[in-house]
């Protein structure tokens, strides 16, 4: 029996024949940076996930966890890809405790399905996360990549929402941390540690999160500007005021165009809460915008509002349809410098002759760059990314390449500039995954 056959039968023993894929044509679809796995397994229980990892440890194989694959293009080139482990069959809602405003769900369920369930019945609740890939993103993938969206401005990100999680450690141990309580300082905060680890310290199989009641009312205000400096002053005013928008996004011309809006610089404010507060903020921000030089202001409500934000969230998906594989970059920096950075990025793109769209979470210091052309046709892309990175680092931040073809990954570090905490991260990876079973080489510093 060949190694592949041995592998196949061992995995079939664990998850059942129907849940193992070894057909070469089918396997291609699961390649990571061109590395095709030897098998794809879909365990149906946490115990099965554990058994797969125990097997992988014993046989010195590597495992790549996967949801729907929305973020598979991110991360460094893996050292080795043996088994892709799909979480899609672990897709139950384990416990929806309405009175406690908490939810426990398995990793393979999509956020979209979760929101639907939460919104139904009674007053309705929601999980305040709005990352890209509105329909496809699974909970496990979102948490493992710490994905977030515009409404992080008010609601925070995964680390502000999660109450606990269940993980299968790299050695196969089934462990659980946190729970259903809002506060928990028992032991180390392993929940926070696991968020955003790209599956390198364990496979998340279930999360418990707090929920919020659906807001009474909502509206979105779009303010169009021609002058970037005016945008900066205006956003500063709002961010330092008592007002509480749920999102403050700045969308540049090229991006606005793709959203069907004509504007040099489009500011989008999402307002959610009690009716009186929403009305007041719409009026106040609208007035203020006009005073600060907005050339146009409009209000979106209802379905129009919903669709706008979905298109914002799924921007990269739309880009990917035209230019695959897409090149998406995420810069982080101190919040007050968003117009400086955007302005510089626009100039750099122009100078490099690269067609790029930019979207900024203006109150959080996060900027997304979308290259609007085919990567292989784009000369000087690696150099361009390097320049953008240096700018972000100048503002105490960094740049992460969320998606790009393998050729680019060979030239640059997708995780940006290394920092002094690398030594600790390396030690953590070494202690928690000594065999290097999970996603080796894909995380910061190549761990």
Partner 1 sequence: MEKEKIVHELNRLIGNEKVLGSDMQITLYEYDAYLLRAKPDCIVLPTTTEDVSKVVKFAHDNGIRVVARGAGTNLTGGSVCLHGGIAIVTTKMNQILDLDIENQRIVVQPGLITLNLKNFLARHGYLYQPDPASEKSSTLGGNVGENAGGPHCLKYGVTSNHVLGGELVLFDGEVIQFGGKALDNPGYDLSGVLSGSEGTLGIMTKLVLRIVPKAEAVKTMMCIFNTIKDGSDTVSAIIADGMIPATLEMMDNLTIKAVEEAYNAGLPKDAAALLIIELDGLKDGMERLAEHIQNICKKHNVREIRVAKDEAERAKIWAARKGAFGAVGRLRPNYLVNDGTVPRTKLPETLDKVIKIGQKYNLPIANVFHAGDGNLHPLVLFDERDKDELGRVHKAATEIMQACADMGGTISGEHGIGVEKLHGMSFIFSAKDMAAMNRVKAAFDPANRYNPGKLLPELQKTA
Residues 404-433 within binding reach of partner 1 (CB under 8 A): 415-416, 419-425, 427-428, 430-432
Asked if residue 18 has a cis previous peptide bond (ω within 30° of 0), the answer is: no
Q: Is residue 241 near partner 1 by the rule CB under 8 A?
A: yes
Site for partner 1 in 243-262 (CB under 8 A): 243-244
> Under the criterion CB under 8 A, does residue 100 sit at the interface with partner 1?
yes
Applying CB under 8 A, the span of 65-73, 196-204, 222-230, 303-311 interacting with partner 1 comes to: 196-204
Q: At its nearest, how many Å lie between partner 1 and the CB of residue 24? A: 34
DSSP 1: -
With respect to partner 1, which residue has the nearer C-beta, 66 or 361?
361
Q: Does 184 engage in binding with partner 1 (CB under 8 A)?
A: yes
Taking the complex as a whole, how short is the minimal distance between the CB of residue 191 and partner 1, in angstroms?
A: 8
Give the DSSP H or E segment for 2.
none
Assess 280 for contact with partner 1 (CB under 8 A): yes
Q: What are phi and psi of 44, to 5 degrees?
A: -105, 0
Distances (CA, A) of 131 to 135, 150, 414: 10, 8, 20
Q: Which of 174, 228, 295, 297 binds partner 1 (CB under 8 A)?
A: 174
Q: Which of residues 121-160 bind partner 1 (CB under 8 A)?
A: 123, 146, 148, 156, 159-160
User: Would you mind telling me the total number of residues written for the chain in this entry?
Assistant: 447
CB of 393 to partner 1, least distance (A): 10
Helix axes 228-239, 338-352, angle to 10 degrees: 150
Q: Is 173 in the site for partner 1 (CB under 8 A)?
A: yes
Of 20-28, 257-265, 299-307, 360-368, the segment contacting partner 1 by CB under 8 A is 360-368
| Per-residue DSSP letter, 409 | H
If we measure between CA atoms, which residue out of 415, 424, 417, 341 comes closest to residue 145? 415
Residues in a beta bridge with 41: 20, 85
Which residue, 91 or 403, is less far from partner 1 as judged by CB?
Answer: 403
Query: What are the residues facing 63 on neighbouring strands?
Result: 83, 438
Contact 313, 130 (CB under 8 A): yes
133 versus 152: smaller Cβ distance to partner 1: 152
């Amino acid at each position: 029996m060949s190694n592949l056959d041995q592998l196949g039968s061992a995995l079939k023993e664990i998850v059942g024949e129907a849940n193992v894929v070894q057909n070469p044509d089918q396997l291609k679809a699961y390649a990571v940076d061109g590395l095709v796995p030897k098998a794809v397994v879909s365990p149906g229980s946490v115990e099965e996930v554990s058994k797969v990892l125990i097997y992988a440890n014993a046989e010195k194989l590597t495992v790549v966890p996967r949801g729907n694959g929305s973020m598979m293009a991110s991360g460094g080139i893996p050292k080795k890809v043996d088994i892709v482990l799909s979480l899609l069959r672990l897709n139950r809602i384990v416990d929806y405790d309405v009175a406690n405003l908490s939810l426990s769900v398995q990793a393979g369920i999509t956020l979209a399905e979760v929101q639907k369930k939460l919104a139904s019945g009674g007053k309705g609740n929601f999980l305040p996360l709005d990352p890209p890939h509105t329909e496809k993103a699974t909970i496990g993938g979102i948490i493992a990549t710490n994905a977030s969206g515009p409404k992080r401005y008010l609601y925070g990100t995964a680390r502000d929402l999660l109450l606990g999680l269940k993980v299968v450690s790299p050695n196969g141990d089934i462990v659980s941390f946190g729970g259903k309580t809002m506060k928990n300082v028992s032991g180390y905060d392993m929940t926070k540690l696991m968020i955003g680890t790209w599956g390198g310290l364990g496979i998340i199989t279930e999360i418990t999160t707090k929920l919020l009641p659906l807001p009474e009312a909502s509206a979105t205000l779009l303010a169009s500007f021609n002058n970037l400096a005016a945008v900066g002053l205006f956003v500063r005013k709002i961010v330092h005021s008592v007002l509480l928008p749920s999102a403050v996004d700045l969308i540049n011309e090229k991006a606005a165009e793709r959203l069907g809006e004509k504007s040099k610089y489009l500011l989008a404010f999402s307002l959610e809460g009690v009716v009186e507060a929403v009305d007041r903020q719409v009026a106040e921000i609208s007035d203020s915008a006009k005073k600060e030089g907005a050339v146009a202001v409009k209000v979106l409500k209802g379905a129009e509002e919903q669709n706008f934000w979905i298109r914002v969230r799924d921007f990269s998906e739309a880009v990917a349809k035209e230019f695959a594989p897409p090149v998406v970059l995420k810069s982080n920096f101190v919040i007050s410098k968003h117009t400086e950075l955007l302005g510089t990025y626009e100039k750099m793109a122009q100078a490099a002759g690269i067609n790029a769209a930019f979207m900024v979470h203006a109150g959080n210091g996060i900027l997304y760059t979308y290259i609007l052309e085919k990567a292989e046709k784009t000369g000087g892309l690696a150099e361009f990314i390097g320049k953008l990175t240096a700018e972000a680092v100048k503002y105490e931040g960094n740049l992460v390449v969320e998606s790009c073809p393998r050729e680019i990954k060979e030239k640059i570090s997708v995780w940006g500039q290394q920092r002094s905490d690398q030594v600790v991260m390396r030690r953590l990876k070494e202690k928690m995954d000594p065999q290097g079973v999970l996603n080796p080489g894909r995380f910061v510093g190549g761990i």
